[in-house]
Amino acid sequence: MGSNNGGQLMNKRETDWFRGMAAVMVVLSHYAEWWTWFTPTEGNAEMFRLALSKLGPYGVDIFFLFSGYAMVKSLGQERMHPQFIWKRIKNVYIPYFLVVGAIELLSGGFTSLHDFWKFVSGEDYWYMFVLFIFYIGFIVVYTIMGGKGPRCTVFCIFTYVFSYALYEAGKQDFWFVSNIAFAIGVAAAEYEEPLRKAADRAGGIMIAVLAAGMFFVVRSGLDENVAVGREAEQLLRMEIGAAVIWTLLVLLLVSKLRIKEKVVAFLGKCSLYIYLTHTYIFMWCVNAVEWSFALRFLTSAAITVVVSALCYLLIGQVAKKLLSKRTKRL
């Protein structure tokens, strides 16, 4: 292991690979939840299913870490500029709008203005809703504030207030537990140089310590006795602590590893489309077929990868043309 080239804490090649792993983790966690629809599980099978179901939040941690980091790196200058905002729309909102819009129409369309608003805001895809709010918060903070210290501080305050508002609104924990990873990504990009030097000096030790912490986190997550006698707020703090440990571990691994494997990296490039399509493909396209649940999951996964790759290639070309035309006007 060694530090990445070019002085960056995280390079695109490694982040694509980890995004691919995160997409697989999220999909597996959903399949594990749907597993119980088909057959009861007990003993080792239930332990395995439960372990898979726990992967989802850790996958979201990865996505938010890289998103926060990429926001700062993409800005690339002291003040906010229109090209940055357009890039977010082109890379995230337009793909979301096209793919989920098609899914909504195939599922029966919009029955009310409220349904259309939920689609526009991403509320039915909670991850997209939270991501959109983070984008808006980042743009506002980085437009008003100057200097990395004030910006990081205010953005962390925004993250806390937003997450607390979701908690008070009664949203399920997955709406806000991973949010801290986005703030960590922002801070990592702002303080990239000292963090990179620290990773070069003591990265191996820090990885070992964090990996040991993850061992206890994973073990406690699979042990129902951990929840005995604990209040909901205590368990929530444990979940947030687990998100911090895992996020820091991924941050260090990305900064130290050299990954040349290309298949998972390609899944990382398609990860947004994998997230947006995999539920619809399973629920509406495959689940009605009278096959074993394992074959349904495998078929759904294969179709999801193919559809996501096509969306990535086709929509990516359209987005490039839009960006090219806009650049010429500017």
Burial class for 34, CB neighbours closer than 10 Å (0-12, 13-18, 19+): middle
Residue 188 has a pLDDT of 96
Cα-based torsion angle of the residue sequence 275, 21, 166, 130 in order, rounded to the nearest 10 degrees:
-50
> pLDDT digit string (tens) for 106-127?
988 888 999 999 999 999 999 9
Q: Which two tokens stand for residue 234?
A: 């205590």
Q: Which two tokens stand for residue 287?
A: 């689940």
Residue 5 has a pLDDT of 46
Residue 236 has a pLDDT of 86
> pLDDT digit string (tens) for 38-90?
988 888 888 899 889 989 999 999 999 999 999 999 987 667 888 899 889 98
Residue 47 has a pLDDT of 86
Residues in the chain with pLDDT < 50? 1-2, 4-5
Question: Is the CB of residue 274 less than 8 Å from the CB of residue 305?
Answer: yes
Return d(Cα 311, Cα 86) in angstroms, integer: 20
Report CA Rg, the chain: 20
